[in-house]
Structure formats: structure tokens, C-alpha cells
Structure 1
Amino acid sequence: MTSQAPVETSGANPEFPETMRRFMERLGFGAKPDRAFPLTGGVSSDIWFVEAKGRRLCIKRALPALRVAADWRAPVERNHFEYAWFQRVAKILPDAVPPLVGHDEAAQMFAMAFLEPEANPLWKRNLLDGKVDPAFAGLVGEKLAAIHAATAGDPKTAADFATDASFHAIRLEPYLEATGRVHADLMPQIEKLVATTAATRLALAHGDISPKNILIGPKGPIFLDAECAWYGDPAFDLAFCLNHLLLKCIPVPGGVDRLAQSFERMVMAYRGRIVWEDPPGFERRCAALLPGLLLARVDGKSPAEYITQDKDREFVRSVARPLIAEPVATLLEVRNRWLQRFR
């Protein structure tokens, strides 16, 4: 949904919001920052770069309606849970989240350190530029599994992130249910995916594990944008990220082999760290969900912006639809079906 993309919006900049100004003052940065401008890349929140008293920060405020073509609304309280996800994960993997500065519960906004892009490039940008590193994908799988393992079966974390309604509004409805309305013949299978995902409560999920929300930090991946944080099915996180590695083959055809290797490295790194349930059962659930997410990125409410040609949309449908109708047992089988048709 967002990233710490260090790009100033084009044209005349709006005034620094008064609520953010007051927030900065309460945090001890004074009433007037040295520099402030909105960042690009966010559809679900207002995100501002702020420089004050020698510190460079990001301030993020949740929006009630997302900036997309479809009517997509979500509770602003997700900002609270995003901040709480960062706090929880900082205790597990301190280097995997941005340093936090403060939270304004009433205004549903928080401040975090701005991570300099030269030292922390955005993974999505690298992938689209053809810089595909399978080893880094393996690190993402490793760190993601560590978060899931550390929170699995934890009653307090489950109570703190009982965000089922928000997760439905931000993920299950706009991705899967909306896609089912387009592909009515697959609605029973898609409804089953929704029901299984909604009913599975095993660990703390991020909900938007995407290359646009992962920085390549000096010490490994840094996760951003945890607005969809939810105590639920960890398979959703892995499937959501693997989905992007397959889809990137379309704009980066020269990187297909390395993207395929990245997919496998992530699966292997993650699968070897599943301790909270039977690994084959987890993988069957993940492999069933992945084609639904593939189809959602061409026919749901949040289509991938780099898939612009009808022939490419039809290609995605040609792979995803049969796999939704008849799910396979392993993630590598999903990948292999994709590669067979792509090549």
C-alpha cells in the first residue's frame, strides 16, 4: 500500500497538515519543520517526509478511502495495528523494521525514521530494473518465517491483533471476493479460499508482504507498511509475496530464470522453519491461495500497475483459473505451471 519511497510529489506541494504539525511539536521537534513534503507511492495513507532538528522522519496517517479506481474503504484504526506490528516485530528482529519515533492514537498517525534510499533500496525497484537476487528472496522467507514462528500460538498477540473485520475489508474482499464476482464460475472455490483463510488463526501476519514494502537493508530485509496486520493465517503472507515474484516475470522477461530461483529460495527458506504446524498442510493451503491472488492482480480491486496489456492479463488468467479450479499440493508445482506457459 505504501513505501518509504523518497520521491517528492510533482507540482505544487500542499501545506504541511496541521494535525501533523501538532504531532511533531508533541514529539519535541518544534512547531515548524525545516522541510516537509508528501511522498509518492501510497494509496491508503498520507505519508510525509519531515526534516526537523537534524532528524529525517516519515509521518504516516491512514485514509478512510483508498486512492484507487474501485470503491475501497477501510477502517483508519489499521494505523494503530501497523504501529503495534512494528513494535512486536522489533522484539523479534530489531533490524527488520524501521526505528519508531511515536504514535498519535487519536489522529491515527505515527512517525518513524526515514531510511535513506542509497543504503536501503526498495526491493521492487531492483526487481523491475532486472536486479534479481535469489539469495535476498531467501532472506525474506527466512525472516518472515521467524516472525510467524515467534508469534504462533501466542494468546496475547492473538488478542492484540484480532483484526478480522479490517483484514476482510483490506484483503479478502478487494482481492478474493471481488475477483470471484468477475469469475462467477469459480466463485465456490474462491469462497472456500476466503473461508479457509478467515478461519485460520495461527500466527501474526503482516498482510502485505510485497517487494514494494521491503527495503534491502544493510542487515537484510526491512519490512514496511503493516496496515493489514492480523493474527491469522501465515500462509497468506508467503503466498502474497510469491505472487509478486511470478508476476514480475511479465515486465522483466529477461529475469525469469532468476525470479524462478528467487521463488524457490523463498519457499525453501520458509518451509524449513515451519514449526507451528505440519509443513505439507501449510504448503497445500498456500498453494491453493496463490492462484487466487494471481487472478486478483488482474481482476480484483488492486490490479498490478505494470500489467497493462490484455494479452498479459489473459496469460495470468490462463494459469490461475485452472489452478483455482483444481488446486495442487506444492508451491513449486504452481511455479512450474506458470513457467511452462510463460516459456
Structure 2
Amino acid sequence: MNTTSKFQTLLGKVLTYFILLSCLAILGLYAVQRFGAQYAEEKIQEQLERSGLASLVRYQSVYFNPFTLTPSLEGVSVGAENAPWLRFARISFNSYMIKHPNLDIDFWIQESPIDGLSRDTGRLMRAAGIDTLLGKGSFTSQIKNEHVSSVLKIDIKDLGKITLDSAITRLNNSVDLSDLRTDLLASLALGQPEALAIIYGEGIELHSLTVKYEELGLIHHLFPPSDLQPKVIQDQLITLSLASQALGLAPADSPQAKQIATAVQAFLQEPKQLTLAMSPASPISLKALTLLANEGTLYKNSQMTLQSN
């Protein structure tokens, strides 16, 4: 056999092996994707059942990325089937099954006309001056021993951006951290954040909490810019001080209520960013925070600040 024939034979074998390996690789990726999606769907469904959200959360399919080993929920709706509170185009778990129990989730709110959502959502949209809902966000949560640090970011087109940053500690082993995070997301989705204080009042203590709002249109719609007369400004300060008392932050005639009213008024006159921060001198339980709110001293005794930037 001459050199040319040997080379052609060798080349043919190489190409054959390459094709076989490529086919095996494709089949392997398909198997990983298929069985990974099945496993991820089972775990996601288990978590929905445990949190009591199975009847409220529906999705069209689960996609599993065979390269990153992470799943995504496609076509998610929350609420009633025909008129959900929210529709998500995709919810992606960026570190699921790799860094568990840490979480890293991205989500995209599907572009939704006002008549395609629930009456409650539609009512809020009309009040905010929008007829189509569109947005995106992320949720990251890191667990180290008994400490949980979480960051939630939401960006709603033509309304604003919200960032919630918290650091908490579990006080006893009866609190399951995975259940806690699920209940946190559930309480936010259902619009009932106070449920956390009822369920975990004595089992969780707060180290810090920061909430930031960046204006993208909501405040301009609710409070159109105008030249306020001195009396109007004074009346507004009184109203905001009374609101502080109603929310349990501070008595209406206190220096703290005046600080709150001044910061909110400054933000309304030039809406850019409003930041609320809570950094108690020592960690404080959710039950203690609730008691402070009932007493009307939450702002002072939790070392709370409110700033307009």
C-alpha cells in the first residue's frame, strides 16, 4: 500500500472516530438535558408543594442547560390561571444543583397588557399610569452556618428600580433555611410580607436591612412636579408625620417623624433615589421589631434612617 493510500485510510479512520465521538457527545448532552430537566422539575415541584404555592404557580416547561447544569422555568404564571397576578417569560436558576443551598436566580417579567392580568394587578397598573407591565430582576442568597445574606432586585419599565438587601441569622434549628427563603419569596409574591413575622417571629433575628428605590416614572405620575406654596409644604409635612405614626415608625410630634417627613418630601420634590436602612445596635428578632412597630418606636429603636439622594 503506497503512502497516499495509507494516509487516506488513516484520515478515514480519524473522521469515523470523530463522527462517532460527536454523536456520543450529542447523545450525552441530550441525556443530561433530558434527565436533568426531569430531576429539576421534580425538585421544583416538591418545593412548590412544601410552600403551598403549587396551586398558584404554573409553568409551560423546564429547560435544563447541560453545560452549566442549571434549570430554567419557561412561561411562568402566578395567581389565577386566566387572570394571574404576574407572568414571567423565564426564571433561571444560575447556581442550582451546584452551589446549593446558595441561590442565584434571574427572572424576566413577560410583557403583559393590563387586561391580561388580575384585577388587583390591573388596579395597581392604572394607579401607576401604565397599561403594559414589563420588567426583570434577580435574587441571590448566600448561607454560611446560621447566617443568610440576600439581595432582591426588581426593575419595572417606566416605574422604577427596587433593591432589597438583608442579613439575618437563624436562632434555632427548628427554622429550615430553605423553607425560610421559599416563604420569603411566597410572601412577596402574595403581597403579605407581614406573614414572615408571624411564622418566624422568635426564630429569626435581623442584622441589617436596606431598601432602595430609584425613580423611573412612578413618582412623576403619582406626584406631578409643581411649585408648592409654603402652606402646602407645611400641610404635606404634617400629613407625612401622621403617616409615620400610622405605620408604627414614630409618634407624629417626634423628631424622628420630622426626619422621615423631610426626607420623603425632598424625594417627592426631586425624585431620584430614596434609601431606607435599618442597622440595629445589636441583632433584633422579627417579633421584637413587630412590638416596636406596635409601640410606634420602630424608626428610633431599630436605628433606622431614610435618605433622599
Q: Identify the TM-score tier after normalising by the shorter chain.
A: 0.3 to 0.5
Q: TM-score, normalised by structure 1?
A: 0.30
Normalized per residue, the structure richer in strand is: 2
TM-score normalised according to structure 2 size: 0.32
Larger Rg: 2
Q: Could you say which structure has the higher helix fraction? A: 1
